Structure 1
Amino acid sequence: MTKCGYVSVVGRPNAGKSSLLNWLVGEKIAMVSHKANATRKRSNIIVMHNSDQIIFVDTPGIHETEKLLNQFMLEEALKAMGDCDLILYLAPVTDKISYYEDFLLKNKKNVKHILLLTKIDFVTNEQIIEKMKEYEQFSDKYECIIPVSIKKQTKQSDILNNVVKYLPVHPYLFDPEIITTEHLRDIFKEFIRESIFENISDEIPYETDVMINKVEEKSNVDVVKATIIVQKDTQKGMIIGKGATAIKRIGRDARVKIEKLTGKKCYLELFVSIKKGWTKNKDGLKELGYDINS
């Protein structure tokens, strides 16, 4: 009798969702950035725990905004919350309770959830206990509360044992050998986006995207050709950099990530293209895979 189900991982932007998932699966799959709003779409990451299968759903951060791209991201998070068997809500220990109250309002279907108190490495044990007491007023809302340190104290099983308690008895939905339902080209795209976030400062990464033009998998090398999309001429100049230094750095960082995942060499060729105002209109967003319903 195996258990199997979908578990949405949600929280405000930069709450540590992608880092947690990479740690739980033991591989770098989800895009991680110290800058908020890096994750734009839902993605499935599969973890086998003993004889049970957990399909974690990585989601964009929950936040309100006027921007069209951010509206798409909020829709993605809300859909994931409504379609799952369990929610892991990540609450950084220094956060105000109001973020959690907002999540409770958005959890329209009252899906069961576990509260994870994240980023506890940066505070004292007394502060952790104090914050847990603050959440006690909501104890009828969550199943349990778990302080999480992915750097030292917490073991993966501390979380996974609690997760499977609330999953339905069900046959596996996916082959136990795979760790994600994402296509390789989509993971490559996210690695390139992550490298842009790491190497280009300020707001520019938020106005960029990546289109994978070609992936050719050979026995000893992957050939990847991709185009970085920007909104303005000035942004193109900054992505390329003086003497092409910036784009070489982006490419080098992305290639290292790809090779670590695939275990073979990668030949990565990057281009830069301008799509004026693509983040500000529905057609531009749809062309890059962000279809807004409202």
Structure 2
Amino acid sequence: MSRAGFVAVLGRPNAGKSTLLNFLCGQNLALVSHKANATRKRMNFIINHTNTQGELAQIIFVDTPGIHKQEKLLNQFMLQEALKAMGDCDLNLFLAPTYDDLKYYEEFLELSNGKPHVLLLTQCDKVSKESILEKIAQYKAYEDKFLALIPTECKNSFDPTQLLETIALFLPSSPPLYDEEILTTSNMREIYKEIIRESLFENLSDEIPYESDVVIEKFIEMPTLNKVYAKIIVEKESQKAMIIGKGANTIKRIGKNARLKLESLEEKKIFLQLNVFAQRNWSKTKEGLKKIGYDFDF
């Protein structure tokens, strides 16, 4: 017997969704940043789990942007991505940091329209045991809404067995939907783009404007070397100068950081060329966003 299905991973911005999925798949494929709303598109992670009875479950986790409401067009696109995943998947997994107010969960309930979900109480290592028990008691008031509540600690001491086996219980009986060797359905261009964006955030911290993005212009794959030509897009010339830096030192640092991550992922040499372009108001019109790869259907 085997099971397979899609699970939308949901929560507020910076709830730890991408960190969890990178841990589960054993690769840094999803962008992780302290910057809120770093994840902008859905991304699938394929986890194969065999329980003690030898039954296989293929769980396709769908990473999503954080659930939030803002009037900016780009934020509207991200909310649309989360809502699509919420409605299309077989099951939802809602991440709730232990120290969070319940308002985030209540907002999720309003949007989910009764979709079956598992509640994952995260970062339990950051609060006292009394606080954990108190938070569990608060969520118990909603126990008719969720299928299961699972408390977890930090990723270093996290055993995912209970989470995976609980999720598997609620997935449809089905043969695997993907080859068991595949980690993600995203193409390499998308993964490279996210790794470069992550390096951009890491090296400029809060200085980097939210309205910045990366486009892979050319990708050449060879047996021992991949060549990647990418452009970083911002909205102002002053932002462009900030990313390039004095003597191009900042862009070199960003490029080196991204290249090392890509080489670790691919286990081969990477040639990476980065250019920076100022494209005024690209994030404020649907046409500008579509050129970057954000397709709207509203």
Specify if TM > 0.5: yes
| 2:23–2:155 contact (8 Å) kept in structure 1 | no
Contact 1:47-1:55 at 8 Å conserved across structures: yes
What's the CA shift for 1:256?
Answer: 1.3
| Equivalent of 1:242 in 220, 241, 246 | 246
Q: Give the C-alpha shift of residue 203 in structure 1.
A: 5.8
For the residues of structure 2 that align with 1:48 and 1:191, how far apart are their CA atoms?
24
Counterpart selection for 2:230 from 226, 229, 232:
226
What residue number does 1:141 align with?
A: 145
Q: Does 1:83 align with 2:88?
A: yes
Aligned residues: 293
* Alignment deviations for residues 145-165 of structure 1 (CA, whole Å, 9 cap, x no partner): 111224344201121011101
Kindly indicate whether residue 86 of structure 2 is the aligned counterpart of residue 93 of structure 1.
no
CA contact (8 A) 1:185 1:215 kept: yes
Paired letter, 1:19: T
Cα offset for 1:119?
Answer: 1.7
Q: What CA distance in whole angstroms lies between the structure 1 residues aligned with 2:201 and 2:156?
A: 26
- Taking only the aligned residue pairs, the percentage that are identical comes to 55
Aligned-residue CA RMSD (Å): 1.1
Q: Residue 74 of structure 2 contacts residue 283 of structure 2 at CA under 8 Å; is this kept in 1?
A: yes
CA-to-aligned-CA distance 1:35-67 (integer Å, 9 cap, x gap): 110000001010010122100000000000010
> Displacement, 1:173?
1.1
- For 1:119 and 1:187, locate their aligned partners in 2 and report how far apart those are by CA, in whole Å: 27
Residues 71 and 292, structure 1, Cα contact 8 Å, conserved in 2 = no
Q: 1:281 aligns with which of 261, 282, 285?
A: 285
1:138 is paired with a residue of what secondary structure? coil
1:188 aligned onto 2:178: no
Question: Could you tell me the TM-score, scaled by structure 2's length?
Answer: 0.96
Whole-Å Cα distance in 2 between the matches of residues 72 and 227 of structure 1?
22
Structure 1 residue 12: deviation in Å? Answer: 0.3
Distance 2:278 2:102 in 1: 41
Q: Partners of 2:37 and 2:69 in 1: how far apart?
A: 12
Offset at residue 257 of structure 1 (A): 1.2
User: Residues 98 and 123 of structure 2 are in contact (CA less than 8 Å); yes or no, is this contact kept in structure 1?
Assistant: yes
* Range moving further from structure 2, 4-13 or 279-288: 279-288
SS at match of 2:182: coil
Kindly provide the CA deviation profile for residues 155-214 of structure 1, in whole angstroms up to 9, marking residues without a partner as x.
011210111010000121111110000101110000000111111133634111111011
Over residues 78-103 of structure 1, what are the superposed CA-to-partner deviations in whole Å (9 max), with x where a residue is unaligned? 00000011111001111111110000
State the distance in 2 between where 1:212 and 1:182 align.
14
The answer for unaligned runs of 5 or more in structure 2 is 51-55
Q: Which residue of 2 aligns with 1:25?
A: 25
* Secondary structure at 2:155 match in 1: coil
> TM-score, normalised on structure 1?
0.97
For 1:235, the aligned partner's letter is Q
User: Which residue is 2:34 aligned to?
Assistant: 34
Among 262, 265, 270, the alignment partner of 1:261 is 265
Assess if the C-alpha contact under 8 Å between 1:20 and 1:150 holds in 2. no
